[in-house]
Amino acid sequence: MFQQIKTMFSKSCEYAIKAMIFVAQKSKEEQRVGIKEIAKGTDAPEHFMAKIMQDLSRRKLIHSAKGPNGGFYMDASDLKNSIADIVKAIDGDTIYKDCVLGLKECSEKNPCPVHFEFKEIKKNLIKMIENNTLAAFNEKLDSGKFFLRNK
Amino acid sequence: MFQQIKTMFSKSCEYAIKAMIFVAQKSKEEQRVGIKEIAKGTDAPEHFMAKIMQDLSRRKLIHSAKGPNGGFYMDASDLKNSIADIVKAIDGDTIYKDCVLGLKECSEKNPCPVHFEFKEIKKNLIKMIENNTLAAFNEKLDSGKFFLRNK
DNA sequence: ATAATAAAAGATAAAAAACTCTTTTATTAT
DNA sequence: ATAATAAAAGAGTTTTTTATCTTTTATTAT
């Protein structure tokens, strides 16, 4: 079988997380960031990223302004959003409820064979994405220690 | 955005894990299991599952025999395979090396912003899927305590 | 040898995800 | 008011994944 890529999140979600971190950093100095700059800065296809930004905007995870000097930006409360909030907005909350084997009725009382094995993993994953807010990233991300582009 | 499903593994991989567990259980009493029975027992589309079984067979994770009384079966060494082996066979080993944000060059020295956050999670996930062999499941899976069908 | 069985392989179709291009709407500055 | 700017929205296309259907090959039992 030749699936090249199978990552934890969808491509859209990967782009969304990158974009949010990118804009978060620029938002420190009250800058608005245009879609072209976001696409370049995250190495994502511009028009595809535009769609994702629309989604994020519609879901109130980010602010936007049309017209000259317009673009995307974040206020203090936007920076409180976590990776989990972004994932929920783009990929939905299936990561919270869905069985790893895709079973609809999988539960504590009616578990699939791998249910209990994955329970802890998922708990840690969820805790992590909930605890990591954009504000927290902003503190960590200082000059050249991390990167968002595909080199 | 309206992706209904975004699970850890691909659909093919979910089916593969279910099928392997299903056949593993039947293999205790030297039974061979036909593709129809596997599809029914795991609530998967028959012809699609057939393709997956071919993959698993080609990759030597399971044995098969054509003709009357033929079907899929496992020997003792097949039962030593872990969930990780199945995942690697179907979804590839991207879970081992790929960056959560899809960056090709992400590494310890050149990390994406979420690299270190996800490092532990992935380590635990990998440990878990490697430690859970089919043989181990066979011991755990006793009468009606777990299920594989979508009810 | 022949018929029946069951997996393997091939070829195609449908659905979802990823990506692109064009038009519209809102805002700002002149 | 007008032109320029930039996001929003609409309408595609392409690629990948999932699923189905048909033909071939191997094996067994008669």
**CATH (domain of A64):** 1.10.10.10
**Is residue A149, in this structure, part of any structural domain at all?**
no
Residue B94 is predicted with a pLDDT of 83
Q: What share of chain B is helix, strand, coil (3-state, %, to 5)?
A: 55, 5, 40
Instruction: Specify if B145 maps to a domain.
Output: no
Residue B19 has pLDDT above 70, yes or no: yes
Using the Cβ of A118 and the Cβ atoms of chain B, whether some distance falls under 8 Å is answered with: yes
Is A60 domain-assigned? yes
Give pLDDT tens digits for A74-100.
999 999 999 999 999 999 988 888 899
The verdict on a CB contact (< 8 Å) between A121 and B125 is: yes
Q: How far apart are the first and last CA of chain A?
A: 29
Q: What is the mean pLDDT of residues A3-9?
A: 64
Is the residue at B52 inside a domain? yes
In a domain? residue B72: yes
* B window 67-86, beta carbon within 8 A of A: 83
Beta bridge partners of B73: B63
Q: Which two tokens stand for residue B107?
A: 């590494």
Question: How do B71-73 and B63-65 pair as beta strands?
Answer: antiparallel
Tokens encoding B12:
């093919």
Q: Which amino acid residue lies closest to nucleotide D16, measuring CA to C1'?
A: A3
| Domain span at A20 | 11-139
Query: A1 in a domain, yes or no?
Result: no
**Domain count within chain A:** 1
pLDDT of res. A2: 44
* Confidence category of residue A136, pLDDT binned at 50, 70, 90: very high
B151 falls within a domain: no
Question: Among candidates A95, A7, A22, which has minimal Cα distance to A56?
Answer: A22
Q: How far apart are CA A134 and CA A78, in angstroms?
A: 8
For residue B53, what are the contacts with CB-CB under 8 A and spacing of at least 6? B19, B35, B38, B62, B64, B72
Residue B58, domain member (yes or no): yes
Q: 14-33 in A: which are within 8 Å (CB) of B?
A: 14, 17-18, 21
